[in-house]
Structure 1
Amino acid sequence: MIGRRALLASAPGLAMPAIARAQALFTRPVRFVLGFAAGGAGDITVRMLTPHMQAEIGQPIVVDNRPGAGGLISGEAVARAAPDGHTMYLLTTSNMAAPAFYRAMPFDVTRDFTPVGRMVWYDHVIAVNPRLPVASLTELVALAKARPGQLNIGSIAVGNAQHLGVELFRAMAQVDMTTVTYRSSPELILSLSNGEIQVAGELLAPLMPHVLSGAVKLLAVTAPTRFPSLPNVPTSAESGMPDYLVRSWNAIVFPAGTPRPQVEAMNRAIRRALAVPEIRARLIELGGLPEASSPEELGAMIPREVAAWGHMAQLAGVQKQ
């Protein structure tokens, strides 16, 4: 009969607790690449979750903000990184929309990454400067039609989900508004609050503090249902645009070929962070809806999302660059 000690020695992975096994897989700090500047929804989410994720994997997670080109620069950097679990990427709906904006892509989002897991859904909103004389989406559309070419609508950089959401709004509402793009959410929100632009299409999360302070006003949430903490803000469907539904999400991916043990360990790290009651409450307070997924669920979701955002780009009349 094989003794218990000999059995454990022959299968050390079975003898180690899950957290100890995860910590053995990561031998140095993990670089977490984001395609956005600091202050946006993705950045806010990541900086809330990483302290709890670090505790799971036993190594620091270093956030690396690389904004620009709709996530092409950051995505390419991760796609070409060593598939050893020490470089990961914040995949977002902007990556799903990018193929609709660019003729040439430096990576294939369905082929060049290993899915780890989804983290948070983020509703989009249509917001206005409080001094604009409108109280609803219907009134905004009417004003824009009465003043063709006189209203500016802002989004962050060309090629991401917010920008496509804005172009889809202009097309579906059939309004002549000038789109103005910004490098980051803070820059966009500053311009909206000071009146440089009158309207913005943005994620709810970075706007939430400014909504509560009265610096900006929300007209509609572009989601199937009203946001839990904003029961008085109607949906786009309730505001006369039933087909205008735009939602974002974020997830973690590794470079293609990353071993399964690292994938499973980081998926556990996501679930651990999202299970913290204070984190869940804070995400909802900030405008996010936490919902973890398995690697397989994310892997099946990505090609569906690329197709859906491509269809939205066609409806918006987007021309590839």
Structure 2
Amino acid sequence: MTGKCEAFGLNSRRASIRAIVALAAALLMPQMVHAQSYPNRPVRLVLSFGPGGVADVTARIVTEKLGEKLGQRFVIENMPGAGGINAARAVLSSPADGYTLALLSNGTAISVSLFKNLRFNPVTDFVPVSSMGYFDFILVTQAGSPYRTLADVIKAAQEKPGGLNVGTINVGSTQNLSAQLFKSTASVDVTIVPFRSSPDVLIALLRGDIQMAIENYTAVQSHISGKAVTAVSSSGLVRTSFLPDVPTVKEAGGGDFEARSWNAIFAPRGTPPEVIKTLNIALRDVLDTPDLKKRALELGIEARASTPEEIAQRLKDDIEKWAKVIERAGIEKQ
């Protein structure tokens, strides 16, 4: 009798184990099938930037190759404005299945501290896939002006506090906050003058209304090659490949300064890990192709993939960094 009871108990435990294994397999099966078939329809990438800008053109170049790699079309949807709130909400209100993705950037990190009610948390509401590209800013002066180097600018600013004007695009932009950061790291008092657009900044510089400007490489490239402006520094930790002879701000005596823009693909929280892995592997292959790198370089972009962990950390670091700059500058939240 005892032997029968033990056998019954053993069989019962085996049946329980088989049931658990079967349940686990059933739960995993949809994810496995999803990963194996992903993507089986077009994928939407939502941008908080308008068409024609650096972010938009970069995204189109990358997704064109990505579509070829994965055998499905990637569709760009532009939702500019509102600090990226509308674009982020559109992605977060979509199913977390990998078919609606977001392009987040350093601008997203800035928005966390710049807006009173962002209505989403980029760190907890999204999961990172990979970076797409990075780019530095260029500090330029008018050719023929007394400010031939960044050291000249710093010296003049120290001799006449508040007497030099530095032009950037609108308040709260990365260029604008980079100017605020420069004031702090270089220990200078300059007047930061915001303009509505990059062409407005360049016109003011050429007219002599401002003594230095901080802009994207693409915005100043033709003026540098045409010798209308002088590149006195770049904003990264190492010299930009576009202007290898131009020192960084730190090299030129501007203190512990670093400011870079970046673009990256994120997905809504809850997106299957297998989908994130598929996208990351494909992006690594695509961003390493010579023709794409060449096209990106023409836009002033260093095309480079990352691990999800790397771009997640960059987002967190930039949120903390720009929050301090915004607070120190006394910029009012929108």
TM-score by length of 1: 0.80
Matched, 1:44 2:33: no
Q: 1:310 aligns with which of 315, 318, 323?
A: 323
Structure 1 contact 138–240 (Cα < 8 Å) conserved: yes
Q: 1:110 aligns with which of 112, 120, 123?
A: 123
Counterpart of 1:240 in structure 2: which amino acid?
Answer: G
Structure 1 contact 92–249 (Cα < 8 Å) conserved: yes
Residue 71 of structure 2 corresponds to which residue in structure 1?
58
Matched, 1:177 2:191: yes
Aligned partners of 2:32, 2:82: CA distance in 1, in Å? Answer: 45
Aligned partners of 1:185, 1:88: CA distance in 2, in Å? Answer: 29
Residues 201-252 of structure 1, C-alpha deviations (whole Å, 9 max, x = no match): 2233543344333344321112222123422211112221121221222210
Deviation at 1:276, TM superposition (A): 0.9
Question: Which protein has the larger Cα radius of gyration, Structure 1 or Structure 2?
Answer: 2
Inter-CA distance 47–207: structure 2 relative to 1 (3 Å threshold)? farther
Secondary structure of the structure 2 residue equivalent to 1:128: strand
Structure 1 contact 118–292 (Cα < 8 Å) conserved: yes
Aligned residue pairs total 305
Matched, 1:262 2:275: yes
5+ residue gaps, structure 1:
1-10
Residue 23 of structure 2 corresponds to which residue in structure 1?
none
Counterpart of 1:161 in structure 2: which amino acid?
Answer: T
Over the aligned positions, Cα root-mean-square deviation in angstroms equals 3.2
Aligned partners of 1:233, 1:105: CA distance in 2, in Å? Answer: 38
Residue 250 of structure 1 corresponds to which residue in structure 2?
263
Aligned partners of 1:73, 1:256: CA distance in 2, in Å? Answer: 17
Structure 1 contact 120–292 (Cα < 8 Å) conserved: yes
Residue 169 of structure 2 corresponds to which residue in structure 1?
156
Q: How does 1:144-293 map to 2 (within 5 A)?
A: 144=157, 152-172=165-185, 173-182=187-196, 185=198, 188-189=201-202, 192=205, 198-293=211-306
Residue 110 of structure 2 corresponds to which residue in structure 1?
97
- Sequence identity (%): 34
Residue 297 of structure 1 corresponds to which residue in structure 2?
310
Residue 147 of structure 2 corresponds to which residue in structure 1?
134
Residues 263-309 of structure 1, C-alpha deviations (whole Å, 9 max, x = no match): 22222331122121122234345433333112233334432332233
Counterpart of 1:269 in structure 2: which amino acid?
Answer: A
Residues 74-100 of structure 1, C-alpha deviations (whole Å, 9 max, x = no match): 233323333232222211111112222
5+ residue gaps, structure 2:
1-28
Residue 333 of structure 2 corresponds to which residue in structure 1?
320
Aligned partners of 1:231, 1:104: CA distance in 2, in Å? Answer: 41
Greater Cα offset, 123-132 or 111-120: 123-132
Secondary structure of the structure 2 residue equivalent to 1:110: coil
